């Protein structure tokens, strides 16, 4: 039997807003410690990892590990129907993933599970030379500033500041943030703005984003709940210059 | 300095004189079948049949799908079109129960040419050759109009009676049943497709782009689910004073259309382009309907092959080229995509090959382009090196 109850439906809504824009299908794994998913998008550019620990749930029962294969668009359609003060209850029943919203009324949705062979990608260990924190809202604003001029974004960090900038045909934009952390090296990589925008759809998950950056290395962006009960993280492959 | 493609082609078509068929106030002949809905003064529009002063099978005159196959020359096509007499009446777009419109619907659903008789208020005159339409001959206000009994096309008939079927679903159904584009577009333009309350007359020009883009959207949704091509491919085709090259890239869907007009008026060489990233495009394309037509035709092939790819299309139009409407792009791309393709390891190799076929130096295209330029200088890497262990 599997049953999990959350008092805040925004956690799921926010996570899957990002996840559904990155991958079409996912496998959510549940066991006695909580729920998690690992997924790589079709073009192998973005990897997403979500972890919701047992302690996050108001009620959590999972007798034996379950694999919930689901179409993320269908799940998102349902999650969009939640109201912000709804409680949300997830359970499984004969090939269906059941989502119940409890607020003024009790609303129940059944989503068909997909029958598929799924090999969960294991999150790789990548050693990044830098790690720092920035407010999530700042990151989101930077993207909005940058996208006026370009479809790619350069992320750079040095001992003092974190810089996001773009050069377009019609103008340049740059956003600087003094990170106040101990970083004794420099690193910079270029990314697709579209892909970053997909990740940043998860804007109600955490106020702080942890960034790991290297030179022409994947971006590691982690959103951690203050309570450490949940984590949503992404790996994004960089764009590289191919000029001879 | 000419800024837009539209302004340029207008300048070109304004210069060309066409000789259209001469007829009197009464016209005894047939309709291929063909209808034309103008867009001037919308939501009141000039709608009516197009007819020729001859009987028998005249369908070739308004079936662009046959022109390249039957090796028609540009002159043949212009000749067909200049023989088409456009009858018109001013109609409100929602006046679908008007008997005149019902006749137009009859024509649009027909499976073959129909004998017809018309009396015009005055002798039809002039001709239309414009930057963004398929040309036609003289036009005049129609006073009396009769057609023979009509046998409807089975698929179109089914669609006509299904008033719960959304227009976009209807269009993809018809496409899958291999109803020619020009036939579904005519039915669309006379309000014979779609849910009941939304049916209305749609100007011909708009109906073409509406059909192209709704097909393209549905096909793209499918193509996004397919695995990405593993190499670069180049497809080519030439006809009617045009050369087309379609480059497929091993990337997610993205698309750029580039077209050059070479010495059509004087010594000019102009390149126009537009593109969409994987996220799509919000505003209407600056190069007009051909952007959607080409997109639809390439996606049609990708969907058939169950492959996803990025797409760069380069087109050159040479001296002697006359704008004949977007069918030109649709058919040429369709032929290109059904031809044998050449494979290349890198985009650079593919582009180098195409450059040997183009008259304008490739660096001018690259300078004008957004996507191609970006793709040549930057590469989106993947996470594969980090997930090697997980792969079998």
Q: Is A124 within a domain?
A: no
Q: Which of A43, A190, A235 sits opposite B252 (nearest CB)?
A: A43
With CB atoms and an 8 Å threshold, state whether B383 touches A192: no
| Structure token digits, residue B55 | 């009987």
Q: Is A225 within a domain?
A: yes
Q: Tell me: do A157 and A106 sit in the same domain.
A: no
Q: Tell me: do A28 and A92 sit in the same domain.
A: yes
Chain A residue closest in CA terms to B346:
A242
Q: Tell me: do A152 and A229 sit in the same domain.
A: yes
With CB atoms and an 8 Å threshold, state whether A218 touches B386: yes
- Judged on CB neighbours under 10 Å (0-12, 13-18, 19+), B55 is middle
Instruction: Write the CB contacts of A114 (distance below 8 Å, at least 6 apart in sequence).
Output: A25, A69, A70, A71
| Structure token digits, residue B261 | 């007009």
Tokens 């830098």 belong to A130
Q: Is A244 within a domain?
A: no
Neighbours of B64 (CB within 10 A): 22
Best probe of the A interface among B381, B384, B391, B392, by most A CBs < 10 A, is: B381
With CB atoms and an 8 Å threshold, state whether B251 touches A238: no
Instruction: Write the CB contacts of B3 (distance below 8 Å, at least 6 apart in sequence).
Output: none
Mean pLDDT score across all residues of chain B? 92
CATH number of the domain residue A65 falls in = 3.10.150.10
Q: Supply the pLDDT for residue A172.
A: 81
Q: Is A23 within a domain?
A: yes
Q: 3-state DSSP call for residue B300?
A: helix
Tokens 């919701």 belong to A52
With CB atoms and an 8 Å threshold, state whether A45 touches B389: no
Contacts of A190 in chain B (CB under 8 A): 378
Distances (CA, A) of A116 to A27, A62, B55, B307, B320: 9, 22, 59, 20, 56
Locate the DSSP E strands across chain B: 26-31, 35-37, 44-51, 85-92, 114-120, 139-147, 232-239, 242-249, 255-262, 269-276, 310-317, 342-344, 378-380
Q: Supply the pLDDT for residue B391.
A: 42
- Enumerate the domain spans of chain B: 18-213, 232-377
Of A58, A83, A112, the position where a domain reaches its end is A112
Determine which helix (DSSP H) or strand (DSSP E) holds B154, and give its type and residue range: helix B154-161
Q: How confident is the model at residue B7 (pLDDT cuts 50, 70, 90)?
A: confident
CA B74 centroid distance within chain: 16
Give the ranges where A50-192 is alpha helix by DSSP (H): 72-79, 136-146
Chain A residue closest in CA terms to B226:
A42
Q: Tell me: do A61 and A159 sit in the same domain.
A: no
Residue A75 has pLDDT above 50, yes or no: yes
Q: Supply the pLDDT for residue B59.
A: 92
Residue B1 has pLDDT above 60, yes or no: no
Are A62 and A44 spatial neighbours (Cβ–Cβ below 8 Å)?
no
Kindly state the DSSP code that residue B356 receives in the 8-state scheme.
Answer: T
**pLDDT of B279-309, one tens digit each?**
888 899 999 999 999 999 999 999 999 999 9
Q: Where in the sequence is the domain holding A64, given as residue range(s)?
A: 2-112
- Judged on CB neighbours under 10 Å (0-12, 13-18, 19+), B127 is buried
Q: How confident is the model at residue A227 (pLDDT cuts 50, 70, 90)?
A: confident
Does A18 touch chain B if contact means CB atoms closer than 8 Å? no
Q: Tell me: do A85 and A57 sit in the same domain.
A: yes
Residue B390 has pLDDT above 60, yes or no: no
Q: How confident is the model at residue B389 (pLDDT cuts 50, 70, 90)?
A: low
How many Å apart are CA B380 and CA B375, to the nearest integer? 9
Q: Supply the pLDDT for residue B196.
A: 92
Determine which helix (DSSP H) or strand (DSSP E) holds A208, and give its type and residue range: strand A208-213
Q: Supply the pLDDT for residue B388.
A: 67
Are B273 and B192 spatial neighbours (Cβ–Cβ below 8 Å)?
no
CA B262 centroid distance within chain: 21
Q: Supply the pLDDT for residue B353.
A: 97
Q: How confident is the model at residue A243 (pLDDT cuts 50, 70, 90)?
A: low
Q: 3-state DSSP call for residue B262?
A: strand
Q: Tell me: do A22 and A87 sit in the same domain.
A: yes
Q: Tell me: do A91 and A146 sit in the same domain.
A: no
Q: Supply the pLDDT for residue A123.
A: 85
What would the mean pLDDT of B170-179 be, rounded to a whole number? 95
Best probe of the A interface among B256, B276, B386, by most A CBs < 10 A, is: B386
Q: How confident is the model at residue B392 (pLDDT cuts 50, 70, 90)?
A: very low
- Judged on CB neighbours under 10 Å (0-12, 13-18, 19+), A213 is buried
Contacts of B392 in chain A (CB under 8 A): 119
Please count the structural domains in chain A.
2
With CB atoms and an 8 Å threshold, state whether A241 touches B378: yes
Q: B74: cis peptide before it, omega within 30°?
A: no
Q: Which of B278, B383, B392 sits opposite A40 (nearest CB)?
A: B383
Q: Tell me: do A66 and A139 sit in the same domain.
A: no
- Judged on CB neighbours under 10 Å (0-12, 13-18, 19+), B1 is exposed
Q: Which of B308, B377, B387 sits opposite A243 (nearest CB)?
A: B377
Q: Is A59 within a domain?
A: yes
Mean pLDDT score across all residues of chain A? 91
Neighbours of B22 (CB within 10 A): 11
Residue B63 has pLDDT above 70, yes or no: yes
Q: Is A117 within a domain?
A: no
Q: Tell me: do A94 and A168 sit in the same domain.
A: no
With CB atoms and an 8 Å threshold, state whether A44 touches B382: yes
Identify which of A120, A86, A112, A114 has the alpha carbon closest to the alpha carbon of residue A101: A86
CATH number of the domain residue A206 falls in = 3.70.10.10
Neighbours of B41 (CB within 10 A): 9
Q: Is A241 within a domain?
A: no
Q: Tell me: do A103 and A151 sit in the same domain.
A: no
Lowest mean pLDDT among A12-16, B23-27, B332-336, B356-360: B23-27
Contacts of A240 in chain B (CB under 8 A): 378-379, 381
Tokens 């380069």 belong to B314
How many Å apart are CA B2 and CA B270, to the nearest integer? 9
Determine which helix (DSSP H) or strand (DSSP E) holds B367, and give its type and residue range: helix B362-368
What would the mean pLDDT of A222-230 be, rounded to a whole number? 90
Counts for chain A of helices (H) and strands (E), in that order: 4, 18
What would the mean pLDDT of A173-190 be, rounded to a whole number? 91
Neighbours of B109 (CB within 10 A): 24
Q: Supply the pLDDT for residue A216.
A: 93
How many Å apart are CA B5 and CA B20, to the nearest integer? 26
ipTM of the complex, rounded to two decimals: 0.89
Contacts of A40 in chain B (CB under 8 A): 383, 387
Chain B residue closest in CA terms to A243:
B377
Question: Which one is predicted more confidently, B149 or B234?
Answer: B234
């Amino acid at each position: 039997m599997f049953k999990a109850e959350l008092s805040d439906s925004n956690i799921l809504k926010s996570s899957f807003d990002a996840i559904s824009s990155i991958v079409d299908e996912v496998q959510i794994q549940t066991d006695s410690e909580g729920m998690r998913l690992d997924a790589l998008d079709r073009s192998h550019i973005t990897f997403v990892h979500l972890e919701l620990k047992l302690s996050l749930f108001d009620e959590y029962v999972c007798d034996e590990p379950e694999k919930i294969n689901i179409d993320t668009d269908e799940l998102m359609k349902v999650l969009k129907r939640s109201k912000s003060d709804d409680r949300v209850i997830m359970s499984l029943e004969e090939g269906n993933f059941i989502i119940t919203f409890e607020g003024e009324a009790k609303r129940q949705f059944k989503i068909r599970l997909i029958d598929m062979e799924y090999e969960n990608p294991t999150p790789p260990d990548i050693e990044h030379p830098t790690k720092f924190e920035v407010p999530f809202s700042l990151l989101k604003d930077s993207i909005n500033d940058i996208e006026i001029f370009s479809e790619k974004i350069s992320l750079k960090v040095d001992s003092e500041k974190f810089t996001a900038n773009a050069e377009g045909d019609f103008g340049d934009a740059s956003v600087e943030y003094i990170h106040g952390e101990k970083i004794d090296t420099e690193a910079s990589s270029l990314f697709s703005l579209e892909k970053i925008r997909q990740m940043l759809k998860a804007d109600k998950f955490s106020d702080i984003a942890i960034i790991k950056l290297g030179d022409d290395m994947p971006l590691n962006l982690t959103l951690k709940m203050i309570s450490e009960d949940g984590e949503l993280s992404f790996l994004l492959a960089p764009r590289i210059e191919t000029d001879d | 300095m000419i800024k837009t493609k539209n302004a340029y082609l207008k300048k070109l078509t304004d210069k060309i004189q066409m000789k259209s068929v001469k007829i009197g106030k009464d016209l005894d002949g047939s309709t291929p079948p063909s209808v034309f809905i103008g867009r001037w003064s919308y939501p009141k529009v000039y709608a009516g049949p197009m007819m020729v002063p001859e009987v028998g099978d005249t369908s070739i005159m308004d079936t662009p799908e046959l022109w390249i196959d039957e090796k028609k020359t540009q002159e043949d096509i212009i000749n067909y079109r200049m023989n088409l007499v456009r009858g018109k009446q001013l109609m409100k777009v929602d006046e679908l129960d008007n008997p005149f419109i019902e006749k137009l619907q009859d024509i649009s659903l027909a499976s073959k040419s129909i004998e017809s008789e018309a009396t015009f208020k005055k002798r039809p005159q002039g001709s239309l050759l414009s930057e963004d339409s398929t040309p036609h001959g003289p036009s005049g206000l129609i006073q009396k109009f009769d057609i023979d009994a009509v046998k409807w096309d089975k698929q179109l008939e089914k669609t006509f009676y299904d008033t719960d079927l959304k227009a976009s679903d209807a269009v993809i159904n018809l496409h899958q049943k291999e109803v020619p584009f020009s036939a579904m577009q005519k039915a669309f333009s006379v309000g014979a497709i779609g849910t009941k309350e939304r049916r209305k007359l749609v100007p011909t020009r708009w109906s073409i782009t509406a059909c192209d883009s709704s097909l393209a959207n549905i096909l793209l949704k499918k193509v996004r689910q397919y695995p990405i091509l593993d190499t670069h491919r180049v497809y080519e085709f030439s006809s009617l004073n045009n050369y087309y090259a379609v480059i497929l890239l091993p990337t997610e869907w993205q698309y750029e259309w580039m077209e050059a007009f070479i010495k059509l008026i004087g010594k000019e060489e102009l390149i126009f382009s537009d593109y969409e990233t994987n996220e799509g495009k919000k505003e209407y394309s600056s190069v007009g309907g051909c952007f959607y037509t080409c997109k639809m035709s390439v996606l049609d092939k990708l969907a058939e092959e169950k492959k996803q790819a990025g797409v760069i299309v380069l087109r050159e139009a040479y001296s002697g080229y006359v704008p004949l409407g977007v069918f030109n792009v649709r058919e040429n791309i369709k032929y290109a995509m059904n031809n044998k393709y050449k494979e290349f390891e890198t985009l650079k190799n593919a582009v180098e090959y195409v450059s040997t076929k183009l008259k304008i130096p490739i660096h001018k295209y690259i300078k004008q382009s957004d996507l191609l330029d970006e793709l040549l200088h930057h590469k989106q890497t993947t996470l594969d090196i980090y997930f090697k262990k997980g792969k079998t």
